[in-house]
Structure 1
């Protein structure tokens, strides 16, 4: 018995948070600063530094003595070039210092060409404050342009550089050494979705497509139009080159403005030869990204008609080649891109809809899980209230009688024994409720208690009588086997009614009636008005009656609770039998 009172058997000692230290290894790698981890970053920076040093030293050695500006002898300048490039191993921790060292080396005559670009990329990428980048970048650009001017003044007398080449060299020096590396270093700080592209890979693909779009059209392999002279073209060759460059740049906007790009490509069919036309790519983009099928039908139909007209013009001296040449123009330039674009567009729409559906289902699942947790918390709180409230209330009542010393030593002993029994019962019932919250551990699982029976109802009434309350208990009818599922609810109704009577009516007379009917069970718990103020000082949370109403309603019954005209209180619950 004492083991039950003390609670469950002592659990084994918990495992320590960390495993005990093992034997020290014979060789342990040195601990590195946090900014230089992991080891792969160290290897990468070392390879970059060594590669830049080797390239810059080889580049510096290609110039003879006196061809480049240098404040140091040729040997010293070569060594300074290598040392400046090797400082790139610290480019992540000290990007500003590394950029300053390499730029200062340029002023002294070191030929750190590749290392300069890497240093300014690291300056933009690893400097925490953008204000520092915006101050250091213009300064470095001016210094690099100044060094380029000094080198050009030293180099021009030996090789005779023309005046028109000098601005081009200055622009290339500034772009390759400072501007492009800075832009590349600042770009990762922008959002992951750049501009209108869905990802950076899509942006890179469109950028490469601008350079390679002539190869996307296989018509030159069939028609042989690459060997046309100027008479076969409707516009001069320079104008044709400008049109090709403009429409090629338009491919950057093929995902955002597919309708406009397709219209431009169709309108340029008479002026641009099919070998340099963006028509296939634009129609593919229109079929995949366009929102209107009518625009796709109009654009593809107009393109097919213009291509046939272009084929008639190109084969005016060879009539028999018109049909095959028209097929070779229309099929790869219109039919295939449109069909493939429609397929990819349908697949893209399906993936988007599936992703939206998955996101919606995930949100609904989280909402259902939150609702289930809330309902489970409410149920557990109700169970704990029903289990603890009645037992503890009786214990408080008996403790008050024991404190007053009523009835002498024998009554005090009986009261103390009752308090102990009720405390043990409360602990056991509390363990059973909390057992559902524990992980199933096999044999250590808390056993479930049997469901209350009609005899337990009488025991519940006797406990209140032992606390000094006059309780009349009437049972009308005979319980049947069908009412076993409603016995826990009846037990809780009587328990809560008697608990409220102890709290608010003290030792005022109470009555409990259980009426077994043919298809339902009705319980009435009422108490009379107290004779005076109640001094038990039992706390009340106000949730017991709400929980009882939920219990009875779930079973399809009715629940009523309210004050009587004589100052008493009545609880009535009717639960149907299944």
Structure 2
């Protein structure tokens, strides 16, 4: 037994070659924690922390102690401001803890304005679980709003400003300090198509629209909150604020339910006043995303009627002033949003149609390419079968005769020479087929052998006769000038018929007939039944006759192949002449 067989059944796999240890990447600093090693992120965090510390310290010292709410002296407050800003160097590793420390520091009177923005951005960007962001962000927002109100109550009396006149300032603090940083930090982490939005930018735009809607008309907001109470159309201030907030939040669904949003906007016009209404935005969404033009017509018509009726009831304009004021309300609130929404909707539909068409064409192109590859593979397989099968079959037959030793040394020498000639012919033909497969566009064309001629049919028959088969070869009629596709097909039909006879019947008598007519040529290859078992049984894949049928059918001819009553086999092919 050889050592290889006597050895263990499984040998340990050799270890892969390892490169010698190098000096290490330049983007990491040795001796630092793994979360802080990239030098680019480290330098950026240090610069951000130092910049926020300097800015917040300057901002805090610009106010005197009486203007800001703080239980600590001025020096302590400035020191805590700097310490809170320097905590930002840990914002990637401990975002929630850094945000909590900076936010709680605001309660002590620190002026960490810029550090608060960076902290809430880091909270949304680097917190591993998004659920934590949705819990911590509202809590931080409430704390920031409370601190802003405390500072405003102490700052306003020194400048003669009432707190109730500053709702816009408080809203701006909330948006700038918490809402916008959190949304900006969550943007890269959102899915590409969140919920019903087409992409993340659309979702972010709608969220900002909801948040910025109360600030669209700050003058009207302040005047509405402090307006006269004797106007019958003005609801109490708390109810007005609640309705404005509810319809503003409803804008988040303007792409998914534009019809319902437009109906709500039209109904709330008499209660929230045109200054606070979401009517322009809802009509724009209805014109762009709505599926029914009838609903658009009804919604815009109802909005125009409600606006005109509100002008009649709620205003005291004279007749000559009524029409201009009605036009001033209807045109920017109804006409312009509807026209602009219809334009954007038509453009959006066009882009969707073009995208669908491009996707369909791309799918069709892939299908056509796949179909072309399959057809080319079938053609190559057919050519390989036709080229190799006949030559190799004859070689096997001659090799069997050589093995039997019939005829003496002279016959063995001739048979060996014949086998060598057939092998060289098979290799040459196979090399030509493989050369076409390897051919690139920039290479020179592979030299092709001449196409078979009527004289080559006789040569093909003589090769089979040399293998010991008795073949009667008849040519009836005069060969006409056939094109380059008909003659190779005739050659392949005779070649495949004789190859099958060698494989399955041995050296039995066979007949080959080629009959030339005026417009067609007919080929018959027929062999008798074998007398007994075939000693040189060759393998067969069953694809030769299928390939012949495809060849003949492509040329517009007919092909028949089947067994005879006496046990023989016949192949008949009729090909039209061009």
Q: TM-score range by the shorter chain?
A: 0.7 to 0.9
State the shift of 1:494 in Å.
0.5
Q: What SS does the corresponding residue of 1:489 show, helix, strand or coil?
A: helix
In 2, Cα distance between the equivalents of 1:378 and 1:42?
A: 61
Partner of residue 559, structure 2: 559
Using structure 2 for the length normalisation, give the TM-score.
Answer: 0.75
Kindly provide the CA deviation profile for residues 154-174 of structure 1, in whole angstroms up to 9, marking residues without a partner as x.
Answer: x9xx99xxxxxxxxxxxxx99
State the shift of 1:218 in Å.
14
Aligned ranges for residues 465-544 of structure 1 at < 5 Å? Answer: 465-482=465-482, 484-544=484-544
Q: What SS does the corresponding residue of 1:268 show, helix, strand or coil?
A: helix
Aligned ranges for residues 14-53 of structure 1 at < 5 Å? Answer: 30=26, 32=28, 44-53=44-53
Query: CA 1:408–1:121 in structure 2 vs 1: closer, same or farther (change >3 Å)?
Result: farther
Partner of residue 406, structure 1: 406
Structure 1 runs not aligned, ≥5 long:
1-27, 160-172
Partner of residue 312, structure 2: 312
Partner of residue 459, structure 2: 459
Equivalent of 1:86, from 84, 89, 92? Answer: 89
Structure 2 runs not aligned, ≥5 long:
1-23, 156-172
State the shift of 1:406 in Å.
2.5
Deviates more, 1:285-294 or 1:543-552: 285-294
Q: What do you get for the CA RMSD once the two structures are aligned?
A: 4.6
In 2, Cα distance between the equivalents of 1:412 and 1:350?
A: 80
Contact residue 57 and residue 81 of structure 2 kept, 8 A: yes
In 2, Cα distance between the equivalents of 1:533 and 1:408?
A: 25
Contact residue 99 and residue 120 of structure 2 kept, 8 A: no
Kindly provide the CA deviation profile for residues 339-382 of structure 1, in whole angstroms up to 9, marking residues without a partner as x.
Answer: 22122222222221222222122112211211111111111111
Q: What SS does the corresponding residue of 1:561 show, helix, strand or coil?
A: strand
Partner of residue 257, structure 2: 257
Are residue 326 (structure 1) and residue 326 (structure 2) matched? yes
Contact residue 525 and residue 572 of structure 1 kept, 8 A: yes
Query: CA 1:112–1:331 in structure 2 vs 1: closer, same or farther (change >3 Å)?
Result: closer
Partner of residue 168, structure 2: none
Partner of residue 200, structure 1: 200
Query: CA 1:361–1:390 in structure 2 vs 1: closer, same or farther (change >3 Å)?
Result: same
In 1, Cα distance between the equivalents of 2:262 and 2:242?
A: 18
Deviates more, 1:385-394 or 1:73-82: 73-82
Partner of residue 235, structure 1: 234
In 1, Cα distance between the equivalents of 2:123 and 2:453?
A: 80
Partner of residue 577, structure 1: 577
Contact residue 217 and residue 280 of structure 1 kept, 8 A: no
Query: CA 1:187–1:351 in structure 2 vs 1: closer, same or farther (change >3 Å)?
Result: closer
Aligned ranges for residues 70-85 of structure 1 at < 5 Å? Answer: 84-85=87-88
Query: CA 1:249–1:398 in structure 2 vs 1: closer, same or farther (change >3 Å)?
Result: same
In 1, Cα distance between the equivalents of 2:417 and 2:543?
A: 30
Kindly provide the CA deviation profile for residues 325-345 of structure 1, in whole angstroms up to 9, marking residues without a partner as x.
Answer: 122222221122112212222
Partner of residue 426, structure 1: 426
In 2, Cα distance between the equivalents of 1:179 and 1:226?
A: 24
Are residue 397 (structure 1) and residue 397 (structure 2) matched? yes
Query: CA 1:271–1:177 in structure 2 vs 1: closer, same or farther (change >3 Å)?
Result: closer
In 1, Cα distance between the equivalents of 2:426 and 2:48?
A: 73
Query: CA 1:37–1:559 in structure 2 vs 1: closer, same or farther (change >3 Å)?
Result: farther
In 1, Cα distance between the equivalents of 2:424 and 2:87?
A: 81
State the shift of 1:313 in Å.
3.1
Partner of residue 278, structure 2: 278
Contact residue 52 and residue 115 of structure 1 kept, 8 A: yes
Q: What SS does the corresponding residue of 2:561 show, helix, strand or coil?
A: strand
State the shift of 1:430 in Å.
1.3
Q: What SS does the corresponding residue of 2:435 show, helix, strand or coil?
A: helix
Partner of residue 387, structure 1: 387
Q: What SS does the corresponding residue of 1:271 show, helix, strand or coil?
A: helix
Contact residue 284 and residue 337 of structure 1 kept, 8 A: yes
Query: CA 1:49–1:543 in structure 2 vs 1: closer, same or farther (change >3 Å)?
Result: farther
Using structure 1 for the length normalisation, give the TM-score.
Answer: 0.75
In 2, Cα distance between the equivalents of 1:30 and 1:390?
A: 66
State the shift of 1:524 in Å.
0.7
Q: What SS does the corresponding residue of 2:271 show, helix, strand or coil?
A: coil
State the shift of 1:537 in Å.
3.2
Q: What SS does the corresponding residue of 1:357 show, helix, strand or coil?
A: helix
Kindly provide the CA deviation profile for residues 251-280 of structure 1, in whole angstroms up to 9, marking residues without a partner as x.
Answer: 222111111111121112223332222212
Contact residue 218 and residue 275 of structure 1 kept, 8 A: no
Contact residue 105 and residue 112 of structure 1 kept, 8 A: no
State the shift of 1:86 in Å.
2.9
In 2, Cα distance between the equivalents of 1:302 and 1:81?
A: 55
State the shift of 1:312 in Å.
2.4
Q: What SS does the corresponding residue of 1:518 show, helix, strand or coil?
A: coil
